[in-house]
A and B are shown apart, each in its own frame.
Chain A
Amino acid sequence: MQVGPRLTVNPGGGTQVNSRQSISLDVNGRIASLTIDDPATPLLYVLRNDLGLHGPRFGCGLGQCGACTVLLDGSAVRSCVLPAVSAVGHRVVTLEGLGSPEKPHPLQQAFIDEQAVQCGYCINGMIMQAAALMSSNKNPTDAQIKQALAYNLCRCGTHLRIVRAVSRACCGAA
């Protein structure tokens, strides 16, 4: 692979603001030290591009769809609008931090059991949002599950299976 020139070209020759900053983030129980060159960088970009995580996903960058959801100290937050620096000192958990194909979290297992995926792009948000719900409500009704997921968008129309999966994880198989 041919590598291009060093990345210092500024088209207008303007002065580049040097705001590089070293931060430490607690992600999935590990401390990651990294440098960001813009304090406005949302957490999502750090998780995906600096830490190589695939769970949180870019959907809208506006906090409207939920595809980027992670847990911050156990609460579901939209990582596309949360500056990475704001996560310093807090525990970040992503989809990868819940479980793996070999050792899935009960929610992940329930999504497999209910086959609650079509394209799966939104599913990170569904599972992370449901994880936050589970921590506050061990036995939610379907209506409560639907309300908890009201701001997570799915385009494929997997809603019914997702509700069944969350219900299964919380309340056992139907």
Chain B
Amino acid sequence: MNAASLPHSISRREVLKFGGLIVSFALPLPLTAAGNNGKAAADMPKAVAQDRVDGFFAIDRRGNVTVFSGKVDLGTGVRTAITQIAAEELDVPMARVNVIQGDTLLTPDQGPTYGSLSIQNGGVQIRLAAATARRALLREAARRLNIDEQDLTVEAGVVKTKHGNASVRYEELIGSRTLALALEQDAPLKDPNSYTVVGRSQPRLDIPDKVTGRFTYMQDFRIEGMVHGRVVRPPAIGATLLSVDADSVSHVPGLIKVVRRKDFLAVVAKTEWGAVSAARQLKARWSDWQGLPDEDRIWDYVRGTKIVRDDVTSNRGDVEAVLAAADHRLASTYDFAIHTHGSIGPSCAVAVFERGKLTCWSASQATHNLRQQLALMFAMPDTDVRAIYIDGSGCYGRNGHEDAAADAALLAREMDRPVRVQWMRADEHGWDPKGPPTLIDMQAALDAGGNVSAWYSQFYGPDGVAGKVKLVAAELAGMPHEIPMSPGGIIAGMAVPYAFPNVKTLAHRLVSTPLRPSWIRSPGRMQSGFANEAFFDEIAVAANADPFELRRRYLSDDPRAIAVLERLAQLARWQKRSSKASSTAGTASGRGMAFIKYENNRTYVGMVSTVEVVRATGVIAAKHFAVVQDSGQIINPDGVKNQIEGNVVQTVSRTLIERVRFDRSRVTSLDWQTYPILTFPDAPEVEMELIDRPHEKPWGVGEPSAAIVSAAISNAVFDAVGVRLRSVPFTPDKVLAALKTGPNQAKERGR
């Protein structure tokens, strides 16, 4: 479907016209069409309810299936996986399935595409819708063919009798009727043993177009009459705009207008280069502002920030009493720097106001939330805003897309014509919301037998509510916007799967954080995964235990965890040992193990990293990772492997290199030289083994393996050179300092 041809308000008839013969269907089944009110079905808006089959599915007159997915493909292969799920459950070929994603007018609100939930929640809903549709179609076929349902089977969208003497196609069953079937929780799902599409590696549907330049990314999207905007952000985050010299850019070819609204400043030009050029040359005076903390004292700042709430995320036994009485206690503090998303393509959006209604195209991972935010900003009803997803550059959380959307919408209203805004690199690095600085205090007690008698973690991270990060344009322009921070579900990874007798995990929620926070891949869970699994290794050293054996001891009640660990030990050829520095060589090699049961209730991952540390320079090379993962039922094995490789490589980058730099006024790491990321020569090898459990629930894979990479590296560095790295990123200066200080084992205190 060419999204550009879709008018803002779309009737079902128009869906038919524009959507390539999308026809919703109704069968004479024991259910009531919702909200029909006697109107012709073709004039009803398309259903977007999550509890209706026609929210998710349509089958046209040629038997083509359209899936309407609220979850979107952020470059992870979700489109292909959802196509597999739909094709499998409906028994149609994948080639006949098309997926429309993240369009507030057409797709159900399945929640933002985050948290490794696209398949686990979104795909499972779509599967149930398909199963419901399949059952309804079979019932209708049985009625038409006058045969028992049990004697029917489906092949490539054709319902046949098992003896093959009669058949009817899905599209014949549907005809031109509409179906408003409620999702049936008891709709029979196919037996995974009969799967032919799900569970097998299917080539990603988008790749041929992406490698030949035929794919239309958000950044490629154009509509008629569109002009180009570029934003001019304040040189200091909290600065106010004192004056603008519009004459300073009047010579720029193609310039249409300098737009100012309070502290929101932008230029609009006929050509994109004209907008870039004008934005660079525009002279403006801004007030001074120096409200950021001293970067060199960031952890003092975090520790000193007012705590507004404590969240206890797990509590068993009496940690305080056991710690107070223990003979052998350990304590360490871990910290994790501010990170940027660093999408290779800067955020981009196109917006247009027509007849008082706003349509906005962007690569937002949460178009339904974006719709609400834009409606708030412009004081419009939600229903007058349509937000449409188009694939952008890789998205690993809430980056700048929503902000670019707000920029484009504001300019579209000012210009009364469609405006495209793409951020420049410095806009992206400087103004995308950041993964907040995180500090975690760890404590443990060991008994005389080397058993862990208490585990206590205290997490310091920003307070906030879920879902919506305030829009930069709305704030700068003084338009309505969200007030509370929204760092994402940062405390979900604190609790540990280990059966220690006394456990407490406590999050201190802070009143503020230096830069606008949001969620970046495995938010908070990466930080907790780092602290938990590196501290576990510290405990293993203190207890003189093999890290694999010690994990096995405390996971013995969880057979899936044990299976992952045992296969990991095999894959990595793990040699049991107490983790002590093994080498004094100039370049020392070491191996470290880490494990996670994601959010303590789903995907299991174990990994062993192999690193080399150059003592003279402090440079760490992450050479190799062995990874074993159990994410339940696997939809697309190669897609899962692609995600694991990406998680490992990206997180090696975050762990070894990345740190947002800032002065008292603004972010100063505004390009790839000042915010470098991992490059090809430094990419580690990744060896993987997937445990497929076709009869279990499919769990998320986009985050879990990322959450323990930092710990695996830290533990390997300790194995190599005997110093413990507790501060991400593990830059050479920190490694050298640690080597100089010598063994920095967790503070051990007797009573």
Given contacts A61-B425, A94-B213, A158-B645, contact A120 B207 (CB under 8 A): yes
B12-20, B156-164, B218-226 - the one binding chain A = B218-226
Cβ–Cβ contact B344 & A41, under 8 A: no
B424 CB within 8 Å of chain A: yes
Q: How far is the CA of A38 from the CA of B272 in the complex (A)?
A: 11
What is the distance, in angstroms, from A131's C-beta to the closest C-beta of chain B?
12
B214 CB within 8 Å of chain A: yes
A95 CB within 8 Å of chain B: yes
B227 CB within 8 Å of chain A: yes
Q: How far is the CA of A57 from the CA of B212 in the complex (A)?
A: 12
Cβ–Cβ contact B207 & A111, under 8 A: yes
Given contacts A120-B207, A127-B211, contact A60 B671 (CB under 8 A): yes
Query: Which residues of chain B have C-beta atoms less than 8 A from A29's C-beta?
Result: none
Task: Find the B residue at minimum CB distance from A98.
Answer: B212
B130-138, B290-298, B412-420, B470-478 - the one binding chain A = B412-420
Task: Find the A residue at minimum CB distance from B355.
Answer: A2
Interface string of B214-237 (1 = CB under 8 A from A): 111101100111010000000000
Cβ–Cβ contact A160 & B344, under 8 A: no
B31-39, B246-254, B502-510 - the one binding chain A = B246-254
B203 CB within 8 Å of chain A: yes
Q: How far is the CA of A146 from the CA of B680 in the complex (A)?
A: 5
Query: Which residues of chain A have C-beta atoms less than 8 A from B391's C-beta?
Result: 119
B647 CB within 8 Å of chain A: yes
Interface string of A55-72 (1 = CB under 8 A from B): 101111110110100000
B525-533, B681-689, B738-746 - the one binding chain A = B681-689
Cβ–Cβ contact B683 & A147, under 8 A: no
Q: How far is the CA of A60 from the CA of B424 in the complex (A)?
A: 7
Cβ–Cβ contact A55 & B213, under 8 A: yes
Question: Which residue of A3, A58, A146, A155 contacts B681 across the interface (Cβ within 8 Å)?
Answer: A146
Cβ–Cβ contact A11 & B258, under 8 A: yes
A117 CB within 8 Å of chain B: yes
Given contacts A1-B224, A94-B213, A161-B642, contact A156 B207 (CB under 8 A): no
B342 CB within 8 Å of chain A: yes
Query: Which residues of chain B have C-beta atoms less than 8 A from A115's C-beta?
Result: 203-204, 207, 638, 642
Query: Which residues of chain B have C-beta atoms less than 8 A from A16's C-beta?
Result: 250-253, 255
Interface string of B246-272 (1 = CB under 8 A from A): 111111111111100000000000111
Q: At the interface, is chain B mostly helix, strand, loop or mixed?
A: loop
Cβ–Cβ contact A155 & B677, under 8 A: yes
Q: How far is the CA of A124 from the CA of B712 in the complex (A)?
A: 33
B208 CB within 8 Å of chain A: yes
Cβ–Cβ contact B256 & A9, under 8 A: yes
Query: Which residues of chain B have C-beta atoms less than 8 A from A123's C-beta?
Result: 210-211
Q: How far is the CA of A40 from the CA of B257 in the complex (A)?
A: 21
Cβ–Cβ contact A120 & B215, under 8 A: yes
Which residues of B (627-656) have their CB < 8 Å from a CB of A? 638, 642, 645-650, 653
Interface string of B140-182 (1 = CB under 8 A from A): 0000000000000000000000000000000000000000000
Task: Find the A residue at minimum CB distance from B354.
Answer: A2
Question: Which residue of A11, A146, A152, A154 contacts B246 across the interface (Cβ within 8 Å)?
Answer: A11
Contact count band on A: 35 or more
Given contacts A108-B212, A120-B210, A160-B645, contact A17 B219 (CB under 8 A): no
Cβ–Cβ contact B274 & A157, under 8 A: no
Q: How far is the CA of A45 from the CA of B224 in the complex (A)?
A: 18
Cβ–Cβ contact A67 & B345, under 8 A: yes
Q: How far is the CA of A95 from the CA of B393 in the complex (A)?
A: 17
B422 CB within 8 Å of chain A: yes
Q: How far is the CA of A67 from the CA of B650 in the complex (A)?
A: 18
Q: How far is the CA of A132 from the CA of B258 in the complex (A)?
A: 42
Can you name 30 A-B pairs with beta carbons within 8 Å? A1-B354, A1-B418, A4-B415, A7-B254, A10-B255, A12-B248, A16-B252, A37-B253, A37-B271, A42-B273, A49-B272, A54-B213, A54-B214, A54-B217, A64-B672, A94-B213, A96-B212, A117-B210, A118-B76, A120-B207, A121-B393, A123-B211, A145-B680, A147-B680, A152-B680, A153-B679, A158-B646, A159-B678, A159-B680, A160-B645
User: Could you tell me which B residues sit within 8 Å of A by CB distance?
Assistant: 74-77, 203-204, 206-217, 219-220, 223-225, 227, 245-258, 270-274, 276-277, 342-346, 352, 354, 391-396, 415-418, 422, 424-425, 638, 642, 645-650, 653, 671-673, 677-681, 683, 685-686
User: Could you tell me which A residues sit within 8 Å of B by CB distance?
Assistant: 1-4, 7, 9-20, 37-38, 40-42, 45, 48-49, 53-55, 57-62, 64-65, 67, 94-96, 98-101, 104, 108, 111-112, 115, 117-124, 127, 143, 145-147, 149-163
In addition to A1-B223, A4-B225, 17 A-B residue pairs with Cβ atoms within 8 Å of each other are A1-B352, A1-B418, A3-B225, A12-B245, A12-B250, A37-B274, A38-B277, A41-B271, A62-B425, A117-B210, A120-B206, A120-B211, A121-B394, A155-B650, A157-B646, A159-B649, A160-B649
